[in-house]
Structure 1
Amino acid sequence: MKKFRLYFEEHNRGPLTQLWLQFQRQHSAMFGLVLFVFFLALVLLAPVLSPHDPYLQNPDLLLLAPSWSEAGLVSYAFGTDDLGRDIMSRLITGAVYTFGLSIVAVLMALLLGLALGMMAGMSKGVKSSVFNHLLDLALTIPSLLLAILIVAVLGPGLWNTTWAIVLALLPQFVHGIRNSIQEALKQDYVVAYRLDGANNWQVLRHAVLPNIWEPVTLMSSMALSTAMLDIAALGFLGLGAQAPTAEWGAMIADALDLIYLAPWAIALPGMLLFAAVLSVNLVGDGLRTAIKKRRES
């Protein structure tokens, strides 16, 4: 029964609620969100979910087939590699490096990009022009190539790879945030806020930053898939994670010689990497569509 109201009061949903309502109407976006939550759970619960030590070698179980094969064992669901290590445990641990470190790298790049982007967006004159030209020059270099150049300077290793990804993604964040801030500064509400006597910091804090979170979220989703591919690519090239680290790209590189003897050792990490990137792209496309429909409604 509908509740009786003596006085009619219009109830407007908040922007986040409207965004979620538009997002959940997209089946592909919800599927991507479920996949994303699944990989996030793997990252957070990796030590608990791993059935075996991912680095424990068992010479009695070399190249054991997956459990769905007649030669497989249930206790080793995805089989073992050429050193007798459990592939399932290594895949779960690899999610921490490939998926988890990409999230950390994107968050670090986002924080640095916010700081530099605010400086670039609020600056004018020669300083702004020089900064913009440097950003345009950095954006002409692909992120993977830039990461390879940085790793060549810092040296191979997983943590150096993370810093290389952060520095490679930084120009994209700075450029996008600078453009968003400059676009917001042209809006009428910012002009009205300045007429009320607000200084640059007050305008940035109360009028600009609360209104640029949507493009920043979209940039972060696109950067996350790029970071995962770059981390896996550097691991595959031998510049990122070093043996015996269970990173998906490094696992594919280690199993290349076994492609005819144990094809599952290459297919499984490749499928997980594909699913992880797909989940991020589906969520990003869903957010883009939901933001567009929310603005139109």
Structure 2
Amino acid sequence: MAKFRLLPDEQLARSPVRQLWREFSRHHSAVAGLLLFIIFFLLALMSPLISPHDPYLQNDTLLLLPPSWSEQGLVQYPFGTDDLGRDLFSRLLVGARYTFGIAIITVLGALIMGLLLGTLAGMSKGVKSSIFNHVLDLALTIPSLLLAIIIVAILGPGLQNTTWAIMLALLPQFVHGIRNAIAEQLNQDYVVAYRLDGANNWQVFSRIIMPNIWERLTLMATMALSTATLDIAALGFLGLGAQAPSAEWGAIIGDSLDLIYIAPVSVAVPGLLIFMAVLSVNLVGDGLRNAAKKRREN
């Protein structure tokens, strides 16, 4: 009996994930963004282990030490020290865990809750669905940062309350996107045919809807991650998020704003890190969007 072997292109066509990666890897900016994203992710995991100094240790003899490339700088302190003598480089490394790491946690939490509520909204019908959708549309009219500030004002400042506030602020857009994605799938002919074969709601959701909306879920998560990173930094800068002596990037900028003319590095470097973190997420999101579009066209 003759055996047929698939060509490489045919094998890729049978694997949606591999085909998505093939299209994604063709965009050099997206690959660069992915590498940068991996670096920030590893820093969020390993920053306490690789920090050369204690980020909270104060040293009265090294106040406002300039960066190492300055004549008065020291090699042991690459970015110098702050007004309390704390190593700025170590604080920025640990800050990746607070700003970028907590942003990932908030997005995952909002995604899980959004998937539950979005599925309930998308699969339900009648008055219950109508009321839920109107309340959701009302929540979407409020910007996520403003909604997070309102929630923090109720819960109180602090990094833990900031996590819950941003998670709840991101929740409406996840519920809205998942609800629309499920509603689209329910109107497809193959879903109707599957129901006619006797499939219940759980079978339709697990075997038809979820495999067809995972790409959209990934895109929503990447876009929400950049929003969460900016919101955490903004709340820390305003004094509503991370509190002293936390090494969160936005809080570092807020604490060093009065020293911008004396020690500009303490403001410029954390601002640059926030920019690069958001840029990496946006590049990955754009690359995934283009790759998913190309995959569907092919």
Q: TM-score, normalised by structure 2?
A: 0.97
Aligned counterparts of 2:71 and 2:5: Cα–Cα separation in 1:
67
Aligned counterparts of 1:140 and 1:95: Cα–Cα separation in 2:
30
Matches within 5 A, 1:97-112: 97-112=98-113
Aligned counterparts of 1:264 and 1:133: Cα–Cα separation in 2:
47
Matches within 5 A, 1:1-297: 7-10=3-6, 11-13=10-12, 14-297=15-298
Unaligned runs of 5+ in 2: none
Q: Which has the higher helix share?
A: 2
Q: Residue type matched to 2:121 in 1?
A: A
Aligned counterparts of 2:114 and 2:69: Cα–Cα separation in 1:
47
Aligned counterparts of 2:221 and 2:145: Cα–Cα separation in 1:
17
Q: Aligned to 1:56, what secondary structure does the other structure show?
A: coil
Aligned counterparts of 2:200 and 2:50: Cα–Cα separation in 1:
52
Aligned counterparts of 1:8 and 1:121: Cα–Cα separation in 2:
43
Q: Aligned to 2:61, what secondary structure does the other structure show?
A: coil
Shift of 1:9: 4.0
Aligned counterparts of 1:132 and 1:6: Cα–Cα separation in 2:
57
Aligned counterparts of 2:93 and 2:143: Cα–Cα separation in 1:
29
Shift of 1:67: 0.7
RMSD: 1.1
Q: Aligned to 1:100, what secondary structure does the other structure show?
A: helix
Aligned counterparts of 2:124 and 2:30: Cα–Cα separation in 1:
38
Q: Aligned to 2:135, what secondary structure does the other structure show?
A: helix
Shift of 1:192: 1.7
State the identity as a percent.
71
* Higher alpha-carbon deviation: 101-110 or 203-212: 203-212
Aligned counterparts of 1:269 and 1:35: Cα–Cα separation in 2:
16
Aligned counterparts of 1:284 and 1:194: Cα–Cα separation in 2:
34
Aligned counterparts of 1:27 and 1:222: Cα–Cα separation in 2:
19
Shift of 1:7: 4.3
Q: How many residues align?
A: 293
Where do 4+ consecutive residues of structure 1 move more than 6 Å? Answer: none
Unaligned runs of 5+ in 1: none
Alpha-carbon displacement from aligned partner over 1:193-236 (angstroms, at most 9, x marks no partner): 11110011111111111110011110000000000000000000
Aligned counterparts of 1:132 and 1:85: Cα–Cα separation in 2:
50
Q: Aligned to 2:62, what secondary structure does the other structure show?
A: coil
Shift of 1:6: 5.4
Shift of 1:12: 3.3
